[in-house]
Copies of this chain bind each other. A is one copy, B any other.
Amino acid sequence: MKISKIAFLILFSCLSVALFAQKNSFISSPNKQITLKVVLTENGSLAYQVSYKKKTIIEPSTLGFSFKKPEVLLNRFQIVGVDSSSFDETWKPVLGEVKSIRNNYNQLIVKLKDSSKPDYLLNIIFRVFDDGIGFRYDFPKESAIKHFIVKDELTQFNLAGNHKAFWIPGDYDTNEYLYNTTKLSEIDAVKAAKKETDIALQAVIGVNTVQTPLMMKTADGVYINIHEAALLNYPAMNITLDKSTFTFTSHLVPDAVGNKAYLQTPFQTPWRTIVVSDKATEILSSKLILNLNEPSKIADVSWIKPQKFIGMWWEMHVGKSNWYKEGGKHGANTENVKKYIDYAAKHGFDGVLVEGWNEGWEDWFGNWKENVFDFVTPYSDYNIDELTAYAKAKGVKIIMHHETSGSATNYERHFDKAYQFMKDHEMNTVKTGYVGRIIPRGEHHDSQWMVNHYQRVAEKAAEYKIMVEAHEPVHPTGLHRTYPNWLANEAARGNEFNNAPNLGLVPEHETILPFTRLMGGPMDYTPGFFHFQLNQYDASRTTRVKTTLAKQLALYVTMYSPLQMAGDFPENFDKHLDAFQFIKDVPVDWDDTKILEAEPGDYITIARKQKGKDNWFVGAITDENGRKTTINLDFLDNNARYEVTIYQDAADADWKKNPEAYKIDKKILTNKDVLNVSLANGGGCAISLMKLK
């Protein structure tokens, strides 16, 4: 790390403190377009404000805490000192959208003491990047406070107007909502949550409370995204809006007894992040959240691999088979899983996810039951030794599934045996799941204890060189930098909701997710559905996939993840093997990414360069409205020819009426070419550009 002190350090002295108290502190982004101002008001409250290109983005917003123990309101301060520095570094992610990431910011640390208890110390660390700001609270070891219980965090985000917002209801237990697009003044999270009868477990906070990442757009076209980075040993942040001032205040997820966090100095909270740009594409290319996370804690990352997989999974969702064994439709039987292994081997997939392999599914949900699964007992028709040998012979990895039913205590008791069992059976990747009410009872999916649990999973799995992707966890906050084995998460409404009977999915959903959920990290969205009317095995079903087939392909590019599923099952892929070729070709790890165009809720077009290769892949998606777009291929190498395969909606394609209509064109093109493509209503376009030698 290179740190150059660019500014002054005001030492502890009455004089300097008194002088400073009259002043404001400023700090700007390296490119000077973002300015952060920190103000100590006369009554001792500390506020920050942010401007972008000379427009105020965040009006003065106060900072502070309320503690339950010691019982103190930490929101009236004296400034003890200010420390400024700058930082510029380029680092390489283990897996990612780009080969290297520049981490360049100016930093301001404001050192505070409590006005009434001067030995209660608090620092606030601000970092200003070209793409936004981050700040965190730092409780130093020198403080007279040693252990403390957080009652409330009092962080404000005071917005400058009644922006357009893309939001989901604040909730302690689920982030699997559809996005609502309204003015801030129109937010009604309770009403929005009530519509969501597809979600089995809700813990809605209130009318004015929404989750982060919250995406907004101002009337004059500035995009603002509020979230958090490096959420460790702390509850997730929701934010509550005061509609009279458009001020959000942090709302932390409580534990079983209503406390927010149990902490001990020294401690630093997660970063509160504000990504800002007048270009929507720059929101998507921002690496601010990753940059605010710590570097990898895993020294040897050689065993961490990007993966593409198919799985024994969707066929249960559509009623072809069951997770549980009784009834004669058990999906995860030896013979059936062998077929998946064969299919993965034939088509070059790295892995086969197998759900429903272990005892417990016959009674797993809805009763707040603690000891559901033991994670090591296969159903009697699942010959794990035979399948281990079979998969190994075929060069395919079986992906473990650890559904916990929300019973985290039970999972933790079985950690070591479960992961050793995986190693004994040649598995190196686990999909975890937290469907249901959390145990310890009274804890929430997003409370401090569970945040620590997800971290424990990542760390314990790393001990066994196991990669993890979590379903139903807390919202991601860039921790895949620190724990690169934590490949991906669900943590939002995934493609599987196409099968939900009520609201389900909507065509705009995937145009919003990259601006919201994916700001925190990769999502296991499970794209790749090739069959649209989901009544193949149960004629009574009215659910359907709400995209075109071409859009399903495009999602492999627009929804970044180093772990991508081909969601549908073999017989449906077999009906469209020409289109399936794109899924076979598309990589899951990249050297470069260009966000070509984007508008939240409307469309996204992204080009990505394959890791270690000269091939590019483009994905373009739209919402319910078809659109035409022009893709300039100037990102390709000079003086090179590319075999370009374009998978696009047929002229009569339509997500609702004709989703399977697509056409595939092949061309030889160069970086001088442009491509005009048409996206159907709810449609998309996927393009592979293979460099010719």
A residues lining the B interface (CB < 8 Å): 147, 149, 255-257, 259, 262, 264, 363, 366-370, 409, 412-413, 415-417, 440-443, 449, 452, 456
Measured between beta carbons, the chain B residues less than 8 angstroms from A452 are: 370
Partner of A440, one of B262, B368, B413, B443: B443
B367 to A147, Cβ gap below 8 A?
Answer: yes
Instruction: Tell me the bound Cα distance from A264 to B360 in angstroms.
Output: 14
Instruction: Tell me the bound Cα distance from A368 to B256 in angstroms.
Output: 13
Closest to A410 in B: B412
Instruction: Tell me the bound Cα distance from A145 to B376 in angstroms.
Output: 29
Instruction: Tell me the bound Cα distance from A259 to B257 in angstroms.
Output: 14
B256 to A441, Cβ gap below 8 A?
Answer: yes
A414 to chain B, nearest CB (A): 10
Instruction: Tell me the bound Cα distance from A240 to B259 in angstroms.
Output: 30
Measured between beta carbons, the chain B residues less than 8 angstroms from A409 are: 409, 412, 440
Q: Is chain A's interface secondary structure helix, strand, loop, or mixed overall?
A: mixed
Measured between beta carbons, the chain B residues less than 8 angstroms from A442 are: 255-257, 440-442
Partner of A257, one of B367, B412, B413, B441: B441
Measured between beta carbons, the chain B residues less than 8 angstroms from A149 are: 368
Partner of A256, one of B256, B363, B417: B256
Instruction: Tell me the bound Cα distance from A413 to B416 in angstroms.
Output: 9
Partner of A262, one of B368, B416, B456: B368
A659 to chain B, nearest CB (A): 41
B441 to A259, Cβ gap below 8 A?
Answer: yes
A369 to B262, Cβ gap below 8 A?
Answer: yes
Partner of A367, one of B259, B264, B440, B443: B264
Instruction: Tell me the bound Cα distance from A620 to B534 in angstroms.
Output: 81
B262 to A370, Cβ gap below 8 A?
Answer: yes
Instruction: Tell me the bound Cα distance from A417 to B417 in angstroms.
Output: 12
Partner of A413, one of B255, B369, B412: B412
Partner of A369, one of B147, B368, B417: B147
30 chain-A/chain-B pairs, Cβ below 8 angstroms: A147-B367, A147-B369, A149-B368, A255-B441, A256-B256, A256-B257, A256-B440, A256-B442, A259-B441, A262-B368, A262-B369, A262-B370, A264-B363, A264-B367, A264-B369, A370-B449, A370-B452, A409-B409, A409-B440, A412-B412, A412-B413, A413-B456, A416-B416, A416-B417, A440-B441, A440-B442, A440-B443, A440-B449, A441-B443, A442-B442
Instruction: Tell me the bound Cα distance from A245 to B149 in angstroms.
Output: 45
A423 to chain B, nearest CB (A): 16
Measured between beta carbons, the chain B residues less than 8 angstroms from A412 are: 409, 412-413
Instruction: Tell me the bound Cα distance from A68 to B417 in angstroms.
Output: 35
